[in-house]
Chain A
Amino acid sequence: MADKAKIKEERKSSPFLIAFSAVILGLVAGGILMAVIGENPLEAYMYIFKGSLMNMERIGNSLATSMTLLFTGLAFAFAYKTGLFNIGCSGQMLIGGLTATIVAHYVFLPRPLYLIVLILSAIAGGAAWAAIPGFFKAKFNVHEVVSTIMMNWIAYWSIYYFIPAYLKGPSLETESSSIALTQSLRAPWLAKLFTGSEYINNSIFIAIIAIILIQFLLSRTTLGFGLKAVGANKSCAEYAGINVNRNIVLSMTISGALAGLAGLSYYTGYSLNMQIGVMPSQGFDGIAVALLGASTPVGVLLASVFFGILQSGKGFMNAMTSVPPEIADTIISVIIYFTATSVLFEKLWNGLFHKLHERQQDKDAAAELTAQEAQ
């Protein structure tokens, strides 16, 4: 008789395997593009990782880059969980960054109190900018993808004229004056810890708090359950007595608040000033971060660190080889494409596991047969 315990359960593909396959394919596609222009892909990749992880200082800088991506990723993931496609993280990030920059220039308070005001201002800016398309979606059924893109451009042009008019720097018309170090998110002890990293800042701690809060909100509260229910099946949620429209507005608002924090971490922690005429690409990279991280807070954390390494090392690679820095964005976009086509990997892995499983079964059966013959 066959030993039941011996036959293992057939393995299935998992979100991790799918993300892993997408990353590998993204890196392969990037490698092909590098090879096309006559560069050695392995060498170029080595420079990317060297550029972002060579020493403590560079690790600090890469982490600082990751934090902005983490917030936009979390923002997108949160809305996505609740069935909304918030492609307007860039605009929400701009407005959150703007409100935070204004506070940094004009509000002077004792440090702990000041930080709270600064954080709240960024949250308020981003949340307000996202609440508008949320309201339009709930009330008038306006597709959030189009409306948030319009909001992106409105933010872009508003800042284009606001900065030179009210926050102009001493030398350049195209950027705001730098905020004082004491008014920024940077902390001397962090810089020391990362041996002189210029960009590392307190947003790391805000990020950790945000991840815990969002994880808690989604998995442990009635509100989170309601939001997810709306994302899973709108009519069903409505039938169950959940206020769908209220949840849509709320979800966009929270998502926007997180994008506002991305603005906080970037403009008052990383760059210390705002340039006009730039649509922050982090808003779009956040989509990749969220999708790669399967829209879970922990997945977003891992994905943002990975993309942070790519983005932060591309400059070094560009200096050492002739590969243009856009290779990082290419890899990221290929990864998104392959996460969208995850069905492909699911089939592939399941097929592979099925084959392995069958082979194992055959082997077991054969072993059993020889055992019987021996008797």
Chain B
Amino acid sequence: MWGLFVQIFPYVIAYTIPMLITSLGGLYSERSGVSNLGLEGLMLSGYFATAFFIKMTEPLMPHGLSLVLGLAAGVVCGMLFSLLHAFASINLKADQTISGTAINMLAAAVTVYAARMITGSGNIPILMGIVRNDIPVLSKIPAVGPLLFARSYWSSWLALGIWAFSWWLLYSTSFGLRLRACGEHPSAVESAGINVYAMRYFGVLMSGALSGLGGGIMLVTYSGEFNGSVAGLGFLAIAAMIFGQWKPLGILGATFFFGFFTTLANVSQVIPALGSVPTVIFKVFPYVVTLVALVFSSKHMSAPAADGVPY
């Protein structure tokens, strides 16, 4: 059993990381008081931009540089898309649910439209993603070493770094306090002389940047090809944020939880002990678990008080 665990663990991490970073993006937005249902679309825009940029630059520059710039392109593209949401929900006080839905549909349509013009088929494959590496010394630690530090992507460490930084930024700095206050009681923040609009713009743009990065990481780790959909991962990220009660540590736990069960579903066929269970059970399992998790965590919501309320 332990052997199996060690075997699938790198896949669990690979699957969890894009969801974690996207969910974290959602946290910035919702903590600043703007609900963001467009994570799926923002993620998709990053997914596309990264694929497009890497495809264009692959022959021109060293592999590693192309990947880094590709991820950066994903971040920028996610931010540009999130500007639409920020403008609608902050300046125009629009219905944020509708605006988020529009972002999802717009990203789905525009990216495939562009991909079709570029490759004809609507898919953009890249030659090579990030290569898995053992981290020297650390991967030799018994038990923990092979689990966490063997065959890992550098992007996973980047994402975890951003997660830790965000936790510090949101909970240990006065800037973080102000940002969170904008999601709880914006008029109090305004009376303290802080620009609520600017803070909310920051929150929404961060959600775009991180979701775009999430989509990009998904591309350069386990996907390897833009195919027009991130398969509901953005929505799972929202569910994880709610399940994680809008807290960094909760989000880490929730996304890992989903990542673990989805990976289990994907590998169930090749594991003799699980092979006798119909695959459909595993396929629907993460979604059913999400529903059940929400049933238990939604009663006592700790959502930011002014989340989704225009100011």
Contact = CB atoms under 8 A, between A and B. Distances in A.
A324 interface: yes
A55 B97 CA distance: 39
Nearest to B37: A145
A247 interface: no
Contacts of B88: 337, 340-341
A344 B99 contact: no
B109 A329 contact: yes
Given A146-B239, A146-B242, A154-B287, A160 B97 contact: no
Interface string A283-313: 0100110010000000000000000000000
Contact of A333 (B94, B102, B232): B102
Given A143-B242, A324-B116, A153 B295 contact: no
B102 A146 contact: no
B105 to A, nearest CB: 4
Contacts of B108: 329, 333
Interface residues of B, number: 45
A283 to B, nearest CB: 11
A370 to B, nearest CB: 44
Contacts of B194: none
A273 B277 CA distance: 28
Given A153-B284, A284-B105, A141 B301 contact: yes
A326 interface: yes
A341 B280 contact: no
Given A157-B280, A337-B99, A140 B242 contact: no
Contacts of A37: 117
A153 B95 CA distance: 25
Interface of B: 37, 84, 87-88, 92-95, 97-99, 101-106, 108-110, 112-113, 116-117, 122, 232, 235, 238-239, 242, 278-280, 283-284, 287-288, 290-291, 294-296, 298-299, 301
Given A150-B287, A291-B98, A330-B110, 6 more contacts: A37-B117, A145-B97, A150-B290, A151-B287, A158-B284, A161-B279
Interface of A: 33, 37, 85, 87, 136, 140-143, 145-147, 149-154, 157-158, 160-162, 284, 287-288, 291, 324, 326-327, 329-330, 332-334, 336-337, 339-344
15 contacts: A37-B117, A140-B296, A140-B298, A145-B37, A146-B290, A146-B294, A151-B291, A157-B280, A161-B279, A284-B105, A324-B122, A329-B108, A339-B98, A340-B94, A341-B88
